[in-house]
Structure 1
Amino acid sequence: MKENIHQTNQIIGGMVAGENLYHAEHLKAAFEGQDSAFRKAIEQIDKDRDFIGSPEHILGNNQTKHGEIAEQVEVGIRNARDNLRQQSPSATFDGVGRTAPEDYLIDGVQVQSKFINGINKNLDHVLKHMRKYENFGRDGSYYHIPKDYYETIKKVLSGESVEGLTDRTVHKIQQNLQEIEKLSGKSFDDVVKPSNSQYSEVQQGKIHDTLDKHEQELSGENKQIKENIRTDAQPNLGDMAQVAAKGALIGGGIRLAFKLYEKYKQGKNPFLGDYTVEDWKELGIDTAKGATVGGISATIIYALTNYASFSAPFAASFVSAGQSIASLVKSLNSGEISFDQFTEMSQLVCIESAAVGLASALGQAVIPIPVLGAVLGTIAGRMVIDFSKKHFAKETEGLKHRMEEYYNQCLTTIDQTYQAVVSRIIAEYEKLGDLTKAAFDLSKNVELRLQASIDLAEAYEVSDVKIIHNINELDAFMLS
């Protein structure tokens, strides 16, 4: 169905372009959503700064104000992290009185914060609170203590030696832990949990540095999240397989439609029982061929648009040109056409690809109308050479020589300014190297996905550590 190669591939190219646009828009929306999440996270930090900036409103004297500061920081940092990860804030003061048994709620559970100087004094306050409120620590509610205190307690529980603690202090810690477990009927870990802050971090002279540290951590995590978003949005084999399936559906559908129309023109209607077994067999084979070619075309167009920075129309035309030349090579080898006819016809089928290429891929350069013919003809000629290399070697040298003569003749007809423009365009085209050959060597689809992309990445000086070189590296990347 030579007559519909270009139309089919352009439709498939449009489908691939739509898929690429969808992914680009999805990536943009993901970035915008993450930027919004980061701003909300920083707003939580700013709320803590505003609270600390008015010490006259903080409960307690200068030696005890850190207790309420610790509460504000705990809620603020938790909610900042939740916002950054685009989750609903988990901590709140809503519905909690300033003198209530709990200081705040986390995921709807009551939490009492105890920030007292000294581990055993801190545990004493926990026990005092538990004796005052008989349900606290027993009904799912729990206590927060300084993170560094909690880590020290865990070392004591595991029998580790802790520098700076006397045997008497360690013994007292163990007694307090046993008492907490006795009163609650639960393990220490269920009743007492670590806060986000160490004791020293929430002191009035240190809290601003603490908030700065948390803001830097949020910024670093935000960068990593955005990098993960970017990585997840990269072209991958899964998307390529989906595109190939859609391309096969398009290719098979179009081939089926053309074949049905062809049979209709012959006076055969499948709904009236006019088809013979041979007709149905021919229809099935033709549709299968269309689906296969469509799937391969979609895969190549996807690869060219995502790995070689081709525009979809140019990639589709490239595919069409390759298929057309392959057909011409077959005719040449069978003796149906001469080598001169092959050269002329090849240039004609590549002219469209060259034109689309100039309009889409190389449109950044301002192309004066007087040089348009020279550029089109030159690129078309070079495309013919590239597509022909894999089919025959001896004739290619002669073809290359004839094209070079044509190229030089074109240059002599335009002035130096236009010559520079043409040379620039040709240089951009030649950066593609042997990608065209790889793209249309259908026996090497893996090389199309890997080696061609590696060569292109190296040509554009992409760092070697960022390039996937083999199947093992690809598997590791996909599963990371």
Structure 2
Amino acid sequence: MKENVHQTTQIIGGMVAGDNLRHAEQLKAALESQDSAFAKAIEQVVKVRDFVGSPEQILGSDKTKHGEIAEQVEVGIRNARDYLRQQTPSATFEGVGRTAPEDYLINSVQVQSKFINGLNKNLDHVLEHMSKYDNFGREGSYYHIPRDYYETIQKVLKGESVEGLANRTLQKIQQKAQEIEEFSGKSFSAVVKPGISNYTEVQQGKLHDTLDRHEQKLSDENKQIKENIRTDVQPNLGDMAQVAGKGALIGGGIRLAFKVYEKYKQGKNPFKGDYTADDWKEIGIDTAKGAAFGGIAAGAIYALTNFASLSAPFAGSFVSAGQVIASLANELNLGAISFDQFAELSQLACMESAAAALASVLGQAVIPIPVLGAVLGTIAGRIVIDFSKKYLGKETEKLQRQMDEYYNQCLAKIDQTYRAVVSIIIAEYEKLGDLTKAAFDTGKNVALRLQASIQLAEAYEVSETDIIHDIDELDAFMLS
């Protein structure tokens, strides 16, 4: 049974490690993809900078060049945002003549940009363009005007007061907006829409500051997107449930295989009809227990590897050791084994955990053979004490003294040169602290930490009535 527990938890630990590796690879790929998207976004801003860097190539006089600059900013920044969000670029100049009715396409729809100084003058130019091109503004195409102008016009159309505008100006705005609606047969907001830029932002003396601000916004949004990516692939309750489900299948399958093999050694073959109803019942109960253990172990290992930053082998051996010690403690309480037997068997059960702990602490460092037994035995003893506190009560002190005596006896048998080595290794292990407390790290997300604590408590076979399952139960306990 004890070998079965260790084998099951190590297999489940390998499964959890595989899942964790998959998540790490997904995170790496997603972050690399986002870095590429950000680079493409910045390339769009650079294109706009290159365009305005050659003012002699821009149409119009110094007083009107901002019109074509506004077009470049609209297309460039819009596409930069699309690239950053890993979407298909929505704006283009492709297929648009420099003096065509439209200035650019957005989602394949024709758009004419009007960046004229003055609210009413912008509307005048829209009306003039609509008169010249019979279909423009009627069949889905529309106009862009400066964003700040558009917002002011909307306030006027809603009857809101606008500081600095005379009543005559307000009336003209309302009149021209009505004419646009009559021309198009559509609402004003369907024909005239806000561009990305305010009027002053695309003036030659302001443009580089404008592009700097857009770059900073792109950078800030990129940081937020990457943070969201990290959050999305972080350990969560959904993944924990899936891992627990896989663990239940593994645990149940292994227990079923062991039980069938055990029956086979007794001369019973299920394919020959040798099983009685009691045999099937026994196998069913044993398989169910295996599934329950597998689910709990998988959840606990997932919690320890993801929330307490323990390696999967260490977490697996840690959970299996807890199960074995719980079983030995039950045998001790029933009188089936003595206290000394409990101490010896528990220490042996934790040797695997001790070896995994050493691997986690020291990596590939070589441990001198003369001190290996002492180190493993000492660490195993500390793990035993950790797990046994809840089962032994006052006898924990006796167990502590027994483990300390073992440690001192080991040191006495070791050459003085190696004693310092043992002390250093044990000190490194002690930096891990109380392994159980690691699973309840107060720096973790409350919901995930609570779920991790539940899984670990179940792995320790804590009574269901003694486990706090949610915040409400915690509040009730604290206020009782």
TM-score (norm 2): 0.89
Match for residue 310 of structure 1? 310
* 129-138 or 398-407, larger mean C-alpha shift: 398-407
Match for residue 188 of structure 2? 188
Structure 1 residue 373: Cα displacement:
2.7
Match for residue 430 of structure 1? 433
Structure 1 residue 436: Cα displacement:
7.5
- Which consecutive residues of structure 1, in runs of 5 or more, have no partner in the other structure? 439-444, 454-468, 473-480
* Distance 1:192-1:291 versus aligned 2 partners, 3 A rule: same
Match for residue 328 of structure 2? 328
CA distance in 2, matches of 1:198, 1:379: 68
Match for residue 114 of structure 1? 114
Match for residue 167 of structure 1? 167
Match for residue 208 of structure 1? 208
Cα deviations across residues 372-403 of structure 1 (Å, max 9, x unaligned)? 33321111001111111111212111011222
- Secondary structure of 2:176's counterpart equals helix
CA distance in 1, matches of 2:455, 2:7: 26
CA distance in 2, matches of 1:433, 1:426: 14
Structure 1 residue 432: Cα displacement:
3.1
Could you tell me which amino acid in structure 2 is paired with residue 345 of structure 1? Answer: L
Aligned length: 451
Structure 1 residue 426: Cα displacement:
3.4
* Distance 1:85-1:221 versus aligned 2 partners, 3 A rule: same
CA distance in 2, matches of 1:26, 1:311: 19
Structure 1 residue 334: Cα displacement:
1.4
Structure 1 residue 72: Cα displacement:
0.5
- Secondary structure of 1:111's counterpart equals strand
* Distance 1:436-1:41 versus aligned 2 partners, 3 A rule: closer
- Secondary structure of 1:110's counterpart equals strand
Match for residue 267 of structure 1? 267
Structure 1 residue 429: Cα displacement:
3.1
* Distance 1:52-1:437 versus aligned 2 partners, 3 A rule: closer
Contact 1:146–1:198 (Cα < 8 Å) also in 2: yes
Structure 1 residue 272: Cα displacement:
1.8
Structure 1 residue 435: Cα displacement:
4.9
- Secondary structure of 2:204's counterpart equals coil
Contact 2:102–2:110 (Cα < 8 Å) also in 1: yes
Match for residue 351 of structure 1? 351
Cα deviations across residues 48-81 of structure 1 (Å, max 9, x unaligned)? 0010111111111111111000000000000000
How many percent of aligned residue pairs carry the same amino acid? Answer: 73
Structure 1 residue 370: Cα displacement:
4.5
Cα deviations across residues 342-392 of structure 1 (Å, max 9, x unaligned)? 111111111111011111344287755544333211110011111111112
Cα deviations across residues 171-222 of structure 1 (Å, max 9, x unaligned)? 1111110000010000001000000000000011111110000000000000
- Secondary structure of 2:111's counterpart equals strand
Cα deviations across residues 23-59 of structure 1 (Å, max 9, x unaligned)? 0100111100110000000000000001011111111
1:378 and 2:378 are equivalent in the alignment: yes
Match for residue 476 of structure 1? none
1:28 and 2:28 are equivalent in the alignment: yes
Contact 2:307–2:449 (Cα < 8 Å) also in 1: no
Contact 1:386–1:437 (Cα < 8 Å) also in 2: no
Cα deviations across residues 94-146 of structure 1 (Å, max 9, x unaligned)? 11001111000000100000000101001100000001111111100000000
* Distance 1:139-1:84 versus aligned 2 partners, 3 A rule: same
* 358-367 or 23-32, larger mean C-alpha shift: 358-367
Could you tell me which amino acid in structure 2 is paired with residue 422 of structure 1? Answer: I
Contact 2:263–2:269 (Cα < 8 Å) also in 1: yes
Match for residue 458 of structure 1? none
Could you tell me which amino acid in structure 1 is paired with residue 427 of structure 2? Answer: R
Match for residue 337 of structure 1? 337
Match for residue 253 of structure 1? 253
Match for residue 86 of structure 2? 86
Could you tell me which amino acid in structure 2 is paired with residue 18 of structure 1? Answer: G
CA distance in 2, matches of 1:173, 1:198: 18
* Distance 1:361-1:293 versus aligned 2 partners, 3 A rule: farther
- Secondary structure of 2:407's counterpart equals helix
Match for residue 406 of structure 1? 406
CA distance in 2, matches of 1:319, 1:180: 74
CA distance in 1, matches of 2:293, 2:107: 55
- Secondary structure of 1:143's counterpart equals strand
Match for residue 11 of structure 1? 11
CA distance in 1, matches of 2:366, 2:170: 80
Could you tell me which amino acid in structure 1 is paired with residue 354 of structure 2? Answer: A
Contact 1:314–1:361 (Cα < 8 Å) also in 2: no
* Distance 1:159-1:408 versus aligned 2 partners, 3 A rule: farther
